[in-house]
Each structure stands twice: as structure tokens, then as C-alpha cells.
Amino acid sequence: MPRPDPDQLLSQLQHAEQRAQRGRLKIFFGACAGVGKTYAMLQAAQQQQRLGVKVLVGVLETHGRADTEQGLLGLPVLAAQQRQHHDKLLAEFDLDAALARRPDLILVDELAHSNLHGSRHPKRWQDVEELLSQGIDVYTSLNVQHLESLNDIVGQVTGIQVKETLPDHVFDQADDVVLVDLPVDELLWRLQVGKVYPPEQARRAQQSFFRKGNLIALRELALRRTADRVDAQMQDYRQTSSIVPLWKTQERLLVLLGYPDAGRAVDAEVLIRHAARLAQQLKAEWRVILLDTPRQQRLADHARRVWLQPLSFAQSLGAVTDLLSSTAAVASVVDYIQRHNISRIIVPTDALQRPVFWSRFSRSLMAALEQDCTALDVIAVNASLSKNTAITQHSNTQTSGGSASSQMPVASPRAGLTQWHAAYWSEDRQGYFWAVFGCTLVTVLLAGLTHWFDLANVVMLYLLVVMWVSARFGRGAGTLAAVLSVLSFDFFFVEPKLSLTVSDAQYLLTFAVMFGVALWVNHLAANLRFQAKVAQQREQRAQQLTELSQQLAGVLTATQVEQIAQDQIGAWVGGAVWIARLDLQDQLELSRPPATVPTTVYDPALAMWAYQHEQPAGQGTDTLPNSPMRYYPLRAPMRTRGVLAFVPSAELHSPDVARLLDSMLSQVALAFERVHFIEVAQQALIKIEGERLRSTLLSALSHDLRTPITVLNSLAQGLARADLSETEHAEMVQSMIMHSQTMQHLVMNLLDMAKLQAGGLNLNQQWIVIDEVVGHVLRSFAKPLAQHQVEVRIDADFPLVYLDELLLARILSNLLENAAKYTPAGSTIIITAKQLDAQQFELHVCDNGAGIPEGMQEQIFQRFARGHSETTQTGLGLGLALCREMMRVQGGGLRAEANQPHGACFILNWSQPMPPAPPVDMA
Amino acid sequence: MTSDAILLIEDEPHIRKFLKNALQADGYQVFEADSVARGLIEAASRVPQLCLLDLGLPDEDGMGFIQELRSWSAMPILVLSARDRESDKVNALNIGADDYLTKPFGIEELLARVRAQLRRSQPKSSGSRVEFGDVDIDLAKRMVRKAGQDVHLTKIEYRLLSVLLEHADQIMTHVQLLNAVWGPNHQEHEHYVRIYMANLRQKLEDQPTQPRYLLTEIGMGYRLCLGGVIGA
């Protein structure tokens, strides 16, 4: 018995979990209006309410039907939002109010409905998605003719194009589909007695849509579609319960679009729908590619956008889309098929039958596919079947990406993306000028030299001009040059001169060949140009991406990431870029408005939406497509890090540009995440250091503080005795003062240590004068060091040092205290400052006492360590450890060495940046 | 001569008693207060010549007292503070305190500071001439001599020295010196003060690394000690 694949099981489980958090979608599905979907839905809702579920009727049209109105009784109804639309007041579903009411279950009729212009989402099913994502269950109704993939079939059967459509994935991913079925005769009877529409309307309906034949066909479609769904469910179930192990082929579909005319985009839609249906049946991944030819590159901005529309349409149906730029179309298609392991290709019939479009190339597409892709199924679809304008229009409202932005006023040409369009035109005009100028120049030059030149050479020179113009300025100018060359050659050089007539018929062949060669050269040169341009564009994009990642690689703070993202992406989209990041309270904060004065207004609510839903919002998306800007969430592996917004340009609809933008955005998001984790790591490091110090402190506290307290206590008790002599008394008082001073010193050290470990120490590194600190410390040690020789060797022009002067003073105090304690009276203490190189500095505190025992140079920096174990001195155990910590927090170190010939040297070392410029002072 | 009156604001009774005894033994008249509110009343009613102020008081921060008192009196304020309030001390000096002592302090040190402050607050004796150690400054002629030799000071060095002379025996913070010498737009250039102080010490002190007069108060600023420190 084979066991189910664990990965698959896991993904199923995750899927089930995700569904549990989402609301459940139940669709009441019927063949057409009047079968009783709304009624069935209300009945189900009534039942839920009786069970104690909080039900809300979001939007529902009763059409004046008595049954339906009866069903509404007792259910709370959400007030519709009144919206001004072309001086008419229209009611629309109020999504925000529905979300605010937070019902358990909401009824939203007519899933395929298109919202009024200016709503948050263009389509009602998108509202429903949002309700579901907030965990609200939804009941809704749907007629079969509204299903996107069946749309054209319904159109063929009934002759009526339905404009409101629903993507199939919404239907397929619904949790429950309830088929509301009614025999056709019964439906017709209901219609006749006026249960569906008022009598007058009913009569009209019966003559057009509600013909018996139509109704039977629609019913069959609805039944079959539901059956397909049940079938798929059964397969899923089998897979989960592993009743029968299923071997699934990995099918990959490809739709090939290569139509240059925008007006014929309708063909593409039929192909795409067909592919979507097929892909769904086969459970196959499917791709749509559009051939980008030199001619397409030359299209004006808006024309190109229309031309790119089928791709966004395909994307909305779930396809992966690509733009293939190449002059050798056939070869690149074959290459694409092989690279992506395509198993079936869908092409329009005319692509195979008429070799018109492919005629420029050496072999036809079909021949190439037969030769190179033997395992490939080719499916030819007659795309001219449903050539009518209704679908074209329909496609404009459907394709969310392309069409919504085409309603927007076309933004002014932007730098970077659209630059070359503008350049193209000016270059074009220049090209025509050069074509004329070149031909004239050759004519004038050669006219006087006909005696020396053979006519064959004249032809050569003309061809040279044609070649140069074609290579430099492209096809149009090249063609002009070719025509002009032949004409001038005829007119000025061929007998009879200054006439277009030709005496010798032989020259006709010369003209023909000359013209042919000119055109061919022109074609080759223009193709070269195109390829160069495509390569250049690709190179440019790759370079932009590399540049961005290189710049982001070395960045350490979020502000730097913002700066770079704004500069790079801003230069790329040719406009201002807004970046909003999460602040410490997890609020989305616009941390960086663009540097240039913006012409559009940033909308925080929309940015928040994009962030929360992890989806692009704003212009050209499904959410508030009429807002001027588009908002992209910055998704990183762990979480979304913020939102980036700008005014998008037309080129963004091209898949490769969109993909580049995606890569750029994820680079930025990754950089934000990396920076975030750097901060987290630093904090963790600081915490660990703090813990380490805390343990040092506690052990020191218990040990070193007890000693002086014990001494003080016994001395005080001793003083209480009456039988003390005068000298004994004085000695004891002196001893008490000394010990209390020792204790004070220890407490100071402890406090410093406590501050260090609590992170409460505000490191205050500044540019200070080192001998000033040394002088201060020596002044406070004047008494303890009265018996010692102290020598300070610091040059008057020693550079400023970058240290915390309080910490430095504490370190020096500790070192001098040790020196006073551990060296005999009369010893010499030398303090020397040294500059090793531009950034490395040292301060030596050396004595000529007994020195540190060999091998103890490191140990003395451990807590409680003392150079001589049997000493009665206290306090050193903490002091040196503390000094070393104090140097470490300033990025330096402290070590001990033996002094020559004897004694100890304590060496502070640190590195620092270049000192600031000294003040200017006129003497 | 009537004895000088000192207002002692301190909430810890042991320290207050000990300080009072010491000050009275030195011949001062002492008024006590244990809170900012009480202290302000005493300061207004008794009009002492000097105020000893502990920063950590029960009802309000001592800083409030300084601000309030400075709005109507110029009497010297000597701040007593525990060592863990370094930034408080600088702030206290910046808003008008004249000197500070860190707890625990020696009583001799305290009495010396009290004497210095009282001397400073007495009307200045005649003069355009000031002396400390072997340095002799003629304010009228802007001449500085050390051990009878003319010392050349740059304009800024002289200005810095004159500000310190004006506030002799008083701690001047880096910020105060920057404001007085360079003006208010140089707050971030604290190292200017340090460099010029080093220059002044080079020119006026016998042992610049162990100065007797131009003293560094670590973490605070500088003090020109006209009497010279003992023992250095």
C-alpha cells in the first residue's frame, strides 16, 4: 500500500489551516435568473440565524418578488451606500460598514456585479475576498453565464454577451457551491405567471434570453460545471485518503500571441480563455507569451499599453506571462518551449495556415515545431469565431491592470522608461533628413565626376548611403534612402539624363537589383538595430538591479536603505518615491517623503491596506484603481517591512519591467530585513555583555565589601572601650578614616560596574585633551602619592583623543591607586602617551616596583585576582577588571607588561578616527 | 563683623547635623531646610549669603530650586550631589549653580569652597589688576605677564582667560565657556574649549600637566582657582 507523499499532506494541512482562519464562501449557483438562488440563500440564512449565528444582509435585490421579501423577514439589513454617479444617485454595497459590523455571516447577492466607478474594488467578488480574509462567512449567488471561462460559450449559445464576469478561481476556491436547479418548463411557467419579472418585462425576456433552447443549454452548462467541481473534489479526497494512488502528469500549456494589431486583441482573448479552461481541466501550469517585434517597440505609449493588455488579462486568469523580444521569432519560441518544458501549445489557426506573419523568416512556425519539439501537442484554435466588438469592450472592463490605468489620464513622458519613445521620434525625423541629405550629397558629388566613375561605382556609393542610413536610423529612413537612391540614379546618371525614362532596358534590371539590395540591406540593418536596442534595454535593467543590490549590500542603517531605494527606484520610474516603514509601535510611518516636491498626494490609508493585505494597491490594481499612485508592499521572508509608493508609468504593464520592479522591491525589502536583524543582533550582544558584568559584580560585592565593613565594625567597637590610651585612640581613628576611604573607592567601582552592566552608562566619548585628565587625576592623588615620584611624558602638541573623560579618569585613578598600594615609597611612576599611527594610540602607566609575577599578566584582570595572593590589601580584585571593561566599551583595551628592569606597565590602547579641525583663531 | 549666614538645604538629618556643627564651629550662622519649598521660604526670609543645596530632595528636584532662586537672587549656590548624577551636575551649573561637591566629601574641602564662594561674592577690590601665582594680569591694558615676562595671548585665549577671571573660583561648564567666548552657534565644538584651555595652561602654568590654577573639573568644565590648589 503506497503511502501519501508527506510534503503534499503538509501542504494540504497548511491549506486547511489557512481556510480555517478565513471565512467560508458559499455560492448559490444557478443556470439563470429566476431559478430561486436568492430565495434558497435567504432560507439558509434564516436557518443559520435560528442557530444563533450573527447574520447580516449586506446587499440583496428582491426584484419585487414576494417569496424573496418573505425570506428577508427578521434578518438585519445593511443600509446601502448612496453614491453620486453622473448626476444620478445610485446605491452600492457598503464594504466598510459591513466590515465594521463584523457579522459571522453576511449575504452578498450577485457575486459577478461590477462596482461603481471609484469604489475601493472594481468588482464585488473582490469585496467578498476582503470580507473572507477578515474571517467573515459569505453567502452569495451566481449565474452560470457570468463565469469567465464560459463567457464566450454562453455568448455563442445565446447570442448575448454578458459583460459582468467572475474569474473561475473564485468559483473553484469557494468552500461550498449549492446548485439551485429548476426544470426548464417550471422556470418558464414561473416567468409566465410573473414570479420572476413584472409581466411586461417578462414577455420581452421570454422572447430573447429566456427562450427554451437557451435555458436548456444554460442548465446543462450549470450542471456540468458543478459536476466538474464535484469531480475535482472527489479527486482531492482520494488523494488525501490515498484510496487510489494517482499519477499526475505535469502538463504545461503555452499560449502564443504575436499579433501586432491592437484591434485584433480580441483573438488573443479567445485564445486565453480557451487556455484557461484547458489548464483548469488539466490542472496544468500555463504561460502566455507575447512576441515583441521591432514594430511593436515603435508603438506610441498608449498604443503599446493596449497591445500589452492581453497579458494582464491572462495574468488575472492565473497565467504566467512573458514578453519575448527577438527578431528571430520562430527560433525564440522554440527555445522558450524547450526551456520551460511546454507540453502543449495553443496557437490561432491562422498562425499555422497563413504564413503571412511569419513569412519574413526562413521556416514556418509549424515546421519548426514539428522538427524541434517532437513531444509537443499543438492545439490550433479558430480565434476568428467570436469576432465582435462586445468582447473587445468587455475585455477593457475586465482586465483589471491594463484597462483601469488606461482610464487614467496618460501621464507625461517619464524619464528612464519611456525615454526612448521620445528619442525615437526625434531620431526618426533626423533619419529622414539624413536620407535625403545623403542621397543629395552623393548625387551632387558624383554628378560632376561621371567621366571618372563607372556607373557601377555610382550604384555602390548609393548603396553605401542606404546602408548607413538604415543602420543609423532604422527602417523608415532606410526605405526612403533606397527609393531616393534609385530615383536619383535614374534621373541624374542614366541616359537620358534629367529624365525618369530609360533608353536602355538593361537599366531596368539594374534598378530592380539596386532597389532589392537596398531594401534587403535596410531590413538587415534595421533588425540589427532592434536587437542591439533590446539587448541594451535588458543590459540596462540588469545593470540597474546589480547597481541597486551592490549599493544595498554594504548598508547598515534603515535610513541608508531608504535613501538608496529612493534614489535608484526614483531614477528608474522617473518620479518621486515615497517609503513608509514600520515604527517601533508597528505603525506604518511615512519615514521618508520624496526630496522633490510631489504633485500627487500620498494616502496613508491605502498604504496601510497594501501593507496589511501584502498586495499592491492604488493605480492599476484591484484596490482603488483610481488613486494616482501605486503602493507596493515590501515583502521580506519574515514579514512585510513597509510600503513603497510612486506614480506608475505605462511600461510597468510589460511583464519583464514588472518583474524587474519586483526584484528591486524584494531587494529593498531584504535590505530592510537585514538591517533590522543587525539591530536585533546588536541588542542581543549588549544584553549578553550586561549579564556577564552582572555576575562579575555580584561576586565582587560579596567578597570585597565584607572585608572593610568587618574592619570598621571592629574598630568602632574598639573605640567604645574606655581603657584606650591617647595614641591608641588616634591610631584607631586614622585606621577608620583609611578604611572608610577604601570602602568609598570600592563603592565607586561597584557603582560604575553596575552602571556599565545595566546599560545605564551613557558613554560620552568626546575629543579631549589627555594631559588635562591626567593632571586632574594626579591632583586628587596628591596625598596618597606624596612619597612617590610621578613623571608625565605627554607632548604639548599631542593630538586630541576620542575617549570618555570620566571613564578615563576612573581608569587612571584605579591604576594610580594600585601603584600607590603596591609599590614601595620612593618608587617612580611614569605616565606616557604614545601615538602608534594615524589612528592607534596608547597610554602607558609604568612603575619600577616589584612588578607582576611572571605568568600573572592576564590573570590579574580576572575578578578577585591579585598579583600576590597572600596580600592583606583589598580592592584590586575588581579594579583592573573594571578598567578593562571601561576601555572595552570605548572600543579599546588594557593589558599589563613587565617594565624593565623591574616593575609593571599598564597599557591602555585604543583607536580613533581623524580628529576634527582645530578652531580658527586670529592671533 | 557680623558672621555670614548660610542656608543649608538637605533632607538627610545626620548629614545636616554634621554640616551644621562644622559650619557653626567655623563661625557661620546656619539656617536649615529639608525641602525645596522650605528652602525657598528660608532663602527669602533670612537672606543668607550662601546656599548649600542637595539635589535629591523629597518634594522636588533641587534643579527647580536653583531656577526659582536665580530668578530673584544672585547668592552663590554650592551644590552637594551624589556621584551618580554627573549630568545633573552639569545641568545645575548651566542653569546657575556656582560650584559643586561630590558626596562623600571631606569637611575641610567643603569649608574651603564655602570660603572661596563667600570671598567671590564680596564686592571686587579695586581693580584692573589680577594676580595668581606669578601671573599678573592688567585688565585695563590687556597685558598678561608671567614672572615679569610678557606673555602673548591670542584674542580668543585672552577672551577665555577674562571669562574665567570674571567667574574666578567658580566652575564654568564647557557650554557656558563656549557661549561666552565663541557665541551660541558652536555648541557642538566642545573641543575648542579644551584646546584653548590646554594652550592657556602651556602659557601660564609652571607644570601644565599638573596645573595649580587653571583646573580641570572632569566631566564638568573648568575653574580658575586664584588661591592655587594645595599640594600639587
Q: Which amino acid is at B170?
A: Q
Q: Pull the grid cell for residue B52.
A: 548649600
Contact A782 B202 (CB under 8 A): no
pLDDT at A13: 64
Higher pLDDT, A277 or A105: A105
| Calpha distance A806→A819 (Å, rounded) | 20
E strand or H helix at B171, and its extent? strand B171-173
Number of H helices, E strands in chain A: 30, 24
Please report which residue ranges of A242-386 form alpha helices under DSSP H: 265-282, 294-297, 301-316, 329-339, 349-353, 365-372
Q: What is the largest CA-CA distance in chain B?
A: 55
Place of cell 594626579: A778
A913 in contact with B, Cβ within 8 Å: no
Residues of chain A contacting B156 with CB distance shorter than 8 Å: 919, 921
- Among A674-678, A712-716, B80-84, the least confident range: B80-84
Provide the shortest C-alpha distance from residue B170 to chain A (in Å).
16
| Calpha distance A664→A542 (Å, rounded) | 10
What confidence tier does A75 reach under pLDDT thresholds 50, 70, 90? confident
Q: Residue A407: pLDDT above 80?
A: no
Q: Please report the ipTM that was assigned to this predicted complex.
A: 0.82
Q: Name the region of A159 (left: φ>0; alpha: ψ -120 to 50; beta: rest).
A: left
Nearest CA in chain B to A915: B191
Contact B197 A796 (CB under 8 A): no
Q: Residue A885: pLDDT above 70?
A: yes
What confidence tier does A384 reach under pLDDT thresholds 50, 70, 90? low
Q: Residue A721: pLDDT above 50?
A: yes
pLDDT at A267: 66
Q: What angle do CA A616, A620, A625 make, to 5 degrees?
A: 90
Q: A739, A765, A771: which to substitute to probe chain B, counting the most B Cβ within 10 Å?
A: A771
pLDDT at A645: 87
pLDDT at A107: 92
Other residues' Cβ atoms within 10 Å of the Cβ of residue A342: 23
- Which one of A185-194, A444-453, B172-181 scores highest in mean pLDDT? B172-181
Q: Name the region of A118 (left: φ>0; alpha: ψ -120 to 50; beta: rest).
A: left
From first to last of its 232 residues, what are the pLDDT tens digits of chain B?
457 899 999 988 888 898 999 999 989 999 999 999 999 999 999 889 999 998 888 888 888 899 999 888 888 999 988 756 677 788 888 888 888 888 778 888 889 889 888 887 766 555 678 888 888 888 888 888 888 888 888 888 999 999 998 888 888 988 889 888 888 887 778 888 888 998 899 899 888 888 889 988 888 889 888 877 754 3
What secondary structure letter does DSSP report for A103? -
State phi, psi for A685 to the nearest 5 degrees: -60, -45
Contact B208 A919 (CB under 8 A): no
Residues of chain B contacting A800 with CB distance shorter than 8 Å: 191, 194-195
Q: Residue A419: pLDDT above 60?
A: no
| Percentage of the residues of chain A whose pLDDT score is greater than 90 | 4
- Among A262-266, A289-293, B142-146, the least confident range: A262-266
Residues paired with A645 in a beta bridge = A578, A631
| Calpha distance A809→A907 (Å, rounded) | 15
| Calpha distance A101→A75 (Å, rounded) | 14
> Nearest by CB to A751, which of B83, B190, B229?
B83
Q: What angle do CA A403, A408, A409 make, to 5 degrees?
A: 135
Contact B195 A779 (CB under 8 A): no
Please report the DSSP string for A491-557 in residue order.
IIISSSTTSS--SSTHHHHHHHHHHHHHHHHHHHHHHHHHHHHHHHHHHHHHHHHHHHHHHHHT--S
Higher pLDDT, A741 or A297: A741
Nearest CA in chain B to A916: B191
> Nearest by CB to A806, which of B86, B157, B232?
B86
Provide the shortest C-alpha distance from residue A583 to chain B (in Å).
29
> Nearest by CB to B216, which of A776, A921, A922?
A776
pLDDT at A727: 86
pLDDT at B103: 79
Residues of chain A contacting B189 with CB distance shorter than 8 Å: 916, 919
pLDDT at A388: 39
Provide the shortest C-alpha distance from residue A298 to chain B (in Å).
59
Provide the shortest C-alpha distance from residue B96 to chain A (in Å).
23
What confidence tier does A5 reach under pLDDT thresholds 50, 70, 90? low
pLDDT at A867: 44
Contact B154 A774 (CB under 8 A): no
Other residues' Cβ atoms within 10 Å of the Cβ of residue A799: 16
What confidence tier does A292 reach under pLDDT thresholds 50, 70, 90? confident
C-beta of residue A834 within 8 angstroms of C-beta of residue A795: no
What secondary structure letter does DSSP report for A418? S
Please report the DSSP string for A629-683 in residue order.
SEEEEEE-SSSEEEEEEE---GGGGSHHHHHHHHHHHHHHHHHHHHHHHHHHHHH
| Calpha distance A547→B152 (Å, rounded) | 58
| Percentage of the residues of chain A whose pLDDT score is greater than 70 | 81
Q: Which amino acid is at A389?
A: T
Of chain A residues 789-818, which have a CB less than 8 A from chain B?
792, 794, 796, 800, 805-806, 809
Burial A865-883 (b: 16+ CB within 10 A, else e): bbbeeeeeebbbbbbbbbb
Provide the shortest C-alpha distance from residue B93 to chain A (in Å).
17
Query: pLDDT tens digits for A543-593?
Result: 888 888 888 887 888 888 888 888 888 877 777 888 888 776 677 777 666
Q: B156, B209, B213: which to substitute to probe chain A, counting the most A Cβ within 10 Å?
A: B209
Rg (CA), chain B: 18
Higher pLDDT, A179 or A855: A179
Contact B83 A782 (CB under 8 A): no
What confidence tier does A405 reach under pLDDT thresholds 50, 70, 90? very low
> Nearest by CB to A767, which of B83, B87, B191?
B191
- CA dihedral over A110, A113, A117, A119, signed as positive or negative: positive
> Nearest by CB to A779, which of B194, B198, B232?
B232
Q: Residue A389: pLDDT above 70?
A: no
Chain B residues within 8 A (CB-CB) of chain A? 83-84, 86-87, 104, 152, 154-157, 182, 189-192, 194-198, 201-202, 208-211, 215-219, 229-232
Using DSSP bridges, classify how beta strands B50-54 and B77-82 pair: parallel, antiparallel or unpaired. parallel
Q: Pull the grid cell for residue A617.
A: 494597491
What confidence tier does A907 reach under pLDDT thresholds 50, 70, 90? very high
| Calpha distance A321→A832 (Å, rounded) | 73
Query: pLDDT tens digits for A799-853?
Result: 889 888 888 988 998 888 888 888 888 889 999 999 988 889 999 999 988 888 8
Higher pLDDT, A411 or A757: A757
> Nearest by CB to B190, which of A766, A772, A786?
A766
Contact A775 B190 (CB under 8 A): no
Contact B231 A782 (CB under 8 A): yes
What average pLDDT does this structure show over A340-364? 61
Residues of chain A contacting B196 with CB distance shorter than 8 Å: 919, 921
What average pLDDT does this structure show over A336-343? 80
Q: B216, B223, B230: which to substitute to probe chain A, counting the most A Cβ within 10 Å?
A: B216
Higher pLDDT, A751 or A487: A487
Chain-wide mean pLDDT for chain A?
77
> Nearest by CB to B194, which of A769, A796, A923?
A769
Q: Pull the grid cell for residue B187.
A: 555648541
Other residues' Cβ atoms within 10 Å of the Cβ of residue A514: 21
pLDDT at A428: 67
Q: Residue A173: pLDDT above 90?
A: no
- Among A54-63, A518-527, A615-624, B124-133, the least confident range: B124-133
Q: Pull the grid cell for residue A73.
A: 423577514
Residues of chain A contacting B197 with CB distance shorter than 8 Å: 769, 772
What average pLDDT does this structure show over A658-666? 84
Nearest CA in chain B to A766: B191
Query: pLDDT tens digits for A643-655?
Result: 888 887 766 667 7
Nearest CA in chain A to B158: A923
pLDDT at A886: 85
Of chain A residues 692-751, which have a CB less than 8 A from chain B?
744, 748, 751
Please report which residue ranges of A759-875 form alpha helices under DSSP H: 770-780, 805-822
Higher pLDDT, A233 or A885: A885
Provide the shortest C-alpha distance from residue B207 to chain A (in Å).
9
| Calpha distance A121→A124 (Å, rounded) | 7
